[in-house]
């Protein structure tokens, strides 16, 4: 769904029997009068709906036929009570066809198409594997809310989804006080942007920060370039990850430079201040807090964090100490022990393993020097390698028959969760060679993490690889050595006549 897409169409698809036409009056609707705190259920089958579709507008991505022509039902919800109320509408129930890609649009007037991007009025997929929509808004008790229940029209055939069918809609209304924000920070961390916010939310479900940008004169900036700067239209939403489910909260959200060049925009326009508004699960919004833009100091695993000290990627600040994110910690804990390598004080040795790499993005990414296309890193398989006491070179390669055509990225860290402890990384051996090879020199004894990652985060299926790891002793001056530099290597200079200089 693209709120920034082009102009709306003027007519319906051929032979549809529908046209865009003028706004339709809301005469054929279902009235719902829920009781405070209770759930009211409504059942209908949109494939039996005769009412021609209403235009959902560009804020709902309605620029092409996809969201124009699916059958629609309209709920008129009379909100009980007084003060701010959360109205939640849910379609994810067994009575709703599992493949019905439902769409919900909230309106304060049935005939008026919402135009604001924030707060959202349109809700589609809950997740990649749940296309039945759920959405919520916060309005005043005693008001009326209209919800258009429809489907995402003509979904691609390979998705096995439909745009009409039986649906159960549950409506629940509960009090929802606005959150507050008392402190916050927006820090630029290399190519990433990190926001933190502290405050309270009576219902304990703060979800993130909506950010507005201001120039040195204090004027709101038109970040989307439509010629008009507004709080609703020039808002950038940054969810907390993870969302803190507590009344007195501190939340953090990250905008990765590999996804959006927000840091480059802030630096390029020289934005000195931003406005923070925290929103909750029902899109109740706090008053604005003005925050200065700062540059972050990245710190590592086990180091103190907070304020301008932020944890590097794949970590989070917990009780003022950097630790791995839940996904990174889980993946590191499930790493496979690499076989012991029978290296001696003066003779290199190797071991080889075969494995597979799954699909998806994975939990980790190598540092920027390893690959020029960070958006293409994928899932990873992790090994823990124990290097004995002494000093060794670590040589790794996937340029082996068991790797086949798998495009690998290999990197090594001293601390699994901490990208700042990377000691070596390689994507391609050379242009048009997809396998990887690392030579990491002068490593001390200890435990290291080896990552074998697939290039291509959106690819599917598992792919094979073969990994060889070699430990080569590093020798001091005056020690007997291998002139060829294969069995061992001198720390300083080259081995000559069997002796390290």
**Is-same-fold flag (30-175; 335-490)?**
yes
Domain 180-295 class?
Answer: mainly beta
Is-contact 224 326, C-beta < 8 A? no
pTM for this one? 0.64
Dig out the tokens for 9 from the structure.
């169409």
Tell me the CA distances in angstroms from 492 to 393, 476, 478, one per residue in order.
Answer: 13, 7, 11
CA pair distance 77, 398, nearest whole angstrom: 61
Is-contact 471 461, C-beta < 8 A? no
Q: Which residue has the tokens 């304990």?
A: 204
Is-contact 413 448, C-beta < 8 A? yes
Q: For the chain, how long is the longest CA-to-CA vector? A: 98
Dig out the tokens for 303 from the structure.
């180091």
Distance from the Cα of residue 423 to its chain's centroid:
26
CA pair distance 4, 224, nearest whole angstrom: 9
Give the pLDDT of the chain (501 residues) as one tens digit per residue. Answer: 333 332 222 333 333 333 444 445 677 789 999 999 999 999 999 988 766 677 888 778 766 655 567 888 999 999 999 999 999 999 999 999 999 999 999 999 988 888 888 899 999 988 878 999 999 999 999 999 999 999 988 777 777 899 899 999 999 999 999 999 999 999 998 888 989 999 999 999 999 999 999 999 999 999 888 888 999 889 999 999 888 899 999 998 989 887 889 999 999 999 999 999 999 999 999 999 999 999 988 899 999 987 788 888 888 889 999 999 899 999 999 999 999 999 999 999 999 999 999 988 788 888 755 765 544 678 899 999 999 999 999 999 999 999 999 999 999 999 999 999 999 999 988 888 899 999 999 999 999 999 999 987 666 789 999 999 999 999 999 999 999 999 999 999 999 999 999
> Collapsing DSSP states into helix, strand and coil, what is residue 66?
helix
Tell me the CA distances in angstroms from 231 to 82, 110, 173, 268, one per residue in order.
Answer: 26, 24, 27, 21
401: Cα within 13 Å, side-chain hemisphere: 0
Listed residue (334, 326, 439, 343) closest to 386, CA to CA: 343
> 30-175 maps to which CATH number?
2.60.120.380
Q: Say which CATH architecture domain 335-490 belongs to.
A: Sandwich (2.60)
CA pair distance 167, 98, nearest whole angstrom: 9
Taking the domains of the chain in order of start, what are their residue ranges?
Answer: 30-175, 180-295, 335-490
β-strand pairing of 422-426 with 289-295:
unpaired
Dig out the tokens for 327 from the structure.
């996904």
> Collapsing DSSP states into helix, strand and coil, what is residue 163?
coil
CA pair distance 105, 277, nearest whole angstrom: 23
Distance from the Cα of residue 12 to its chain's centroid:
36
The radius of gyration of the chain from alpha carbons, rounded to an integer in Å, stands at 28
């Amino acid at each position: 769904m693209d709120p920034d897409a082009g102009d709306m169409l003027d007519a319906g698809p051929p032979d549809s029997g529908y046209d865009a036409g003028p706004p339709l009056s809301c005469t054929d609707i279902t009235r719902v009068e829920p009781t405070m705190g209770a759930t009211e259920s409504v059942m209908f089958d949109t494939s039996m709906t005769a009412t021609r579709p209403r235009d959902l507008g560009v804020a709902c991505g309605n620029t092409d036929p996809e969201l124009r022509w699916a059958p629609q039902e309209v709920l008129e919800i009379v909100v009980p009570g007084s003060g701010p109320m959360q109205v939640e509408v849910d379609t994810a129930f067994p009575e709703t066809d599992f493949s019905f890609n439902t769409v919900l649009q909230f309106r304060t007037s049935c005939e008026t198409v919402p135009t604001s991007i924030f707060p959202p009025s349109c809700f589609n997929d809950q997740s990649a594997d749940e296309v039945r929509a759920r959405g919520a808004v916060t309005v005043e008790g005693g008001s009326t809310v209209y919800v258009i229940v429809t489907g995402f029209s003509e979904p691609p055939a390979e998705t096995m989804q439909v745009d009409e069918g039986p649906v159960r809609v549950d409506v629940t209304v509960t009090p929802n006080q606005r959150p507050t924000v008392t402190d916050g920070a927006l820090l630029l961390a290399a190519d990433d942007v990190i926001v933190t916010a502290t405050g309270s939310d009576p219902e304990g479900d703060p979800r993130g920060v909506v950010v507005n940008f201001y120039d040195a004169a204090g004027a709101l900036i038109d970040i989307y370039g439509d010629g008009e700067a507004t709080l609703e239209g020039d808002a950038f939403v940054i969810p907390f990850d993870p969302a803190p489910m507590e009344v007195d909260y501190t939340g953090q959200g990250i905008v990765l430079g590999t996804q959006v060049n927000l840091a480059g925009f802030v630096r390029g326009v020289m934005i000195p201040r931003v406005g923070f508004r925290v929103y909750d699960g029902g899109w109740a919004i706090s008053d604005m807090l003005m925050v200065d833009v700062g540059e972050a100091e990245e710190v590592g695993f086990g180091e103190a964090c907070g304020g301008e000290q932020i944890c590097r990627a794949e970590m989070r600040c917990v009780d003022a100490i950097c630790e791995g994110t839940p996904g990174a910690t889980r993946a590191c804990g499930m790493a496979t022990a690499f076989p012991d390598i029978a290296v001696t004080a003066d003779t290199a040795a190797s071991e080889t393993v075969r494995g597979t790499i799954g699909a998806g993005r994975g939990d980790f990414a190598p540092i920027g020097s390893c690959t020029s296309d960070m958006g293409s890193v994928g899932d990873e398989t992790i090994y823990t390698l124990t290097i004995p006491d002494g000093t060794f070179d670590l040589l790794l390669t996937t340029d082996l028959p068991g790797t086949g055509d798998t495009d690998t990225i290999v990197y090594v860290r001293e601390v699994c969760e901490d990208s700042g402890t990377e000691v070596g990384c390689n994507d391609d051996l050379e242009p048009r060679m997809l396998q990887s090879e690392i030579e990491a020199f002068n490593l001390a004894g200890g435990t290291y993490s080896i990552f074998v990652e697939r290039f291509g985060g959106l690819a599917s299926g598992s792919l094979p690889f073969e990994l060889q790891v070699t430990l080569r002793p590093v020798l001091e001056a005056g020690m007997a050595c291998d002139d060829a530099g294969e069995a061992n290597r001198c720390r300083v200079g080259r081995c000559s006549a069997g002796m390290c200089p």
